């Protein structure tokens, strides 16, 4: 990791780190410690507990009377959603800059310092600064993790990449934002539980003038199942949330005026994976409604898509046959990817 000198807090802008949490007290401790270990010293850490039932409150209280005293704030609310917790944290934040951090992820020591340096230099200061990171199970062995993130020339290019199905383009922890920019715009949507970070980032990127980047790995996202829009199998509420998010994403990119061929190709790629889950655990009404919407998207698109043909096959052969064919293709691709990386 890069090294920097410790900042003088009195001369540096305050950074608010907002950590929503729910029943993750052990991982929360690691997330908070990664904030306390920042080389940048002028920070406030705001934990918003979204109704944890695992004793998180007592766990945090013990540390607030000890090593976290005067350095961490703790606020508990009724269980609503991580997005509601982030919005609450943003209301409480006093910093000039905002860092969101999920309670199971961690920041590397130079995360804040290097991004502040990018955001503070020059006259045309950007609204946010992204970075690269790592994706894996533990920070103890980064060789077992993989690099995530991407550098784009413009905010609209970031939007296209986010909608390409590459879910690790810009994770929640990646950007450091100007608070003035965030609070002048609608917050996290509380009606979305799957893909909430994708939807939020797209709305922000649609309005920023420029986005800086630090080409260093500055955070770790812990690997979990179920983080993608296409990961809604055997769970009807998550499926409905994924469909809702997908529709919101399309609405956002249309409003931004970038409903072009690359964007359409990405949206239809997401639709293809999500359609398999609609067939897997959706109701007959879900299937019909989603198929009608996808057909309309395909008709508007400037790029070729096999989805209308797949929908026709479903109506002729049944959803089970199409679903089995989809899974077989996915297995072939997985084998091909493993073979290519050997």
Quick one: tokens of 264?
Answer: 């359409």
Beta strands in the chain (DSSP E): 15-21, 43-50, 72-77, 97-100, 106-107, 128-136, 146-148, 176-178, 211-222
Q: What pTM was computed for the model? A: 0.87
In the three-class reduction of DSSP (H, G, I as helix; E, B as strand; rest coil), residue 219 is classed as: strand
Q: Which of 50, 48, 61, 128 is nearest to 89 (CA)?
A: 48
For 39-73, b/e burial (b = at least 16 CB within 10 A) is: bbebbbbbbbbbbbeeebeeebeebbeeebeeebb
For residue 1, what pLDDT is reported?
47
Per-residue pLDDT of the chain (342 residues; tens, 9 = 90+): 444 444 445 579 999 999 999 999 999 999 999 999 999 999 999 999 999 999 999 999 999 999 999 999 999 999 999 999 999 999 999 999 999 999 999 999 999 999 999 999 877 789 999 999 999 988 788 888 999 999 999 999 999 999 986 657 788 999 999 999 999 999 999 988 888 999 999 999 999 999 999 999 999 999 865 445 555 556 888 888 889 999 999 999 999 999 998 899 999 988 988 888 898 889 999 999 999 999 999 988 888 788 888 888 888 888 888 778 777 766 766 555 544 443
DSSP 76: E
Task: Go through 207-240 and write b for each residue having 16 or more CB atoms within 10 A of its CB, e for each that does not.
Answer: ebeebbbbebbbbbbbeeeeebbbbbeebeebbb
Report the pLDDT value the prediction gives residue 167, as an integer from 0 to 100. Answer: 57
**pLDDT score, position 316:** 87
What does the chain come to in residues? 342
In the CATH hierarchy, which fold is given to the domain comprising 12-222?
A: Spore Coat Polysaccharide Biosynthesis Protein SpsA; Chain A (3.90.550)
Q: Return the pLDDT at 336.
A: 57
**From residue 75, how far is each of 15, 95, 341 by CA, in Å?**
18, 17, 46
Domain boundaries, the chain: 12-222, 237-340
**Secondary structure (DSSP) of 132-190:** EEEEES-SS-GGGSEEE----SSHHHHHHHHTTT-TTSS-TTS-EEEHHHHHTS----T
- How buried is 306 (Cβ within 10 angstroms: 0-12 exposed, 13-18 middle, 19+ buried)? exposed
DSSP 8-state symbol, 65: T
Collapsing DSSP to helix, strand or coil, 336 comes out as helix
pLDDT in tens, 301-312: 888 788 888 888
Cβ atoms of residues 180 and 98 within 8 Å = no
Check residue 330 and give its pLDDT: 65
């Amino acid at each position: 990791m890069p090294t920097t000198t410790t900042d003088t807090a009195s001369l540096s802008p305050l950074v608010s780190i907002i950590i929503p949490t729910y029943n993750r007290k052990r991982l929360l401790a690691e997330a908070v410690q990664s904030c306390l270990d920042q080389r940048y010293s002028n920070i406030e850490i705001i934990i918003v507990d979204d109704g944890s039932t695992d004793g998180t409150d007592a766990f945090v209280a013990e540390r607030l009377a000890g090593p976290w005293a005067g350095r961490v704030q703790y606020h508990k609310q009724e269980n609503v959603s991580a997005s509601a917790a982030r919005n609450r944290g943003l209301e409480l934040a006093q910093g000039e800059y905002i860092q969101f951090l999920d309670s199971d992820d961690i920041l590397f020591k130079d995360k804040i310092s290097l991004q502040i340096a990018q955001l503070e230099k020059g006259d045309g200061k950007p609204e946010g600064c992204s970075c690269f990171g790592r994706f894996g199970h533990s920070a103890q062995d980064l060789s077992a993790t993989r690099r995530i993130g991407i550098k784009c020339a413009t905010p609209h290019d970031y939007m296209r990449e986010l909608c390409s199905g590459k879910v690790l383009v810009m994770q929640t922890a990646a950007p450091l934002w100007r608070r003035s920019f965030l609070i002048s715009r609608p917050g996290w949507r509380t009606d979305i539980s799957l893909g909430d970070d994708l939807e939020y980032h797209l709305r922000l990127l649609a309005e920023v003038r420029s986005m800086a980047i630090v080409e260093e790995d500055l955070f770790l996202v812990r690997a979990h199942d179920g983080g993608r829009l296409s990961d809604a199998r055997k769970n009807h509420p998550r499926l409905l949330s994924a469909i809702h998010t997908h529709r919101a994403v399309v609405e956002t990119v249309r409003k931004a005026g970038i409903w072009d061929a690359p964007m359409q190709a990405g949206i239809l790629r997401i639709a293809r994976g999500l359609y398999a889950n609609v067939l897997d655990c959706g109701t007959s009404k879900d299937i019909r409604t989603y198929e009608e919407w996808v057909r309309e998207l395909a008709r508007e698109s400037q790029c070729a898509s096999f989805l209308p043909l797949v929908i026709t096959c479903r109506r002729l052969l049944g959803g089970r046959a199409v679903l089995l064919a989809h899974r077989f293709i996915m297995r072939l691709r997985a084998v091909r990817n493993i073979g290519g990386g050997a």
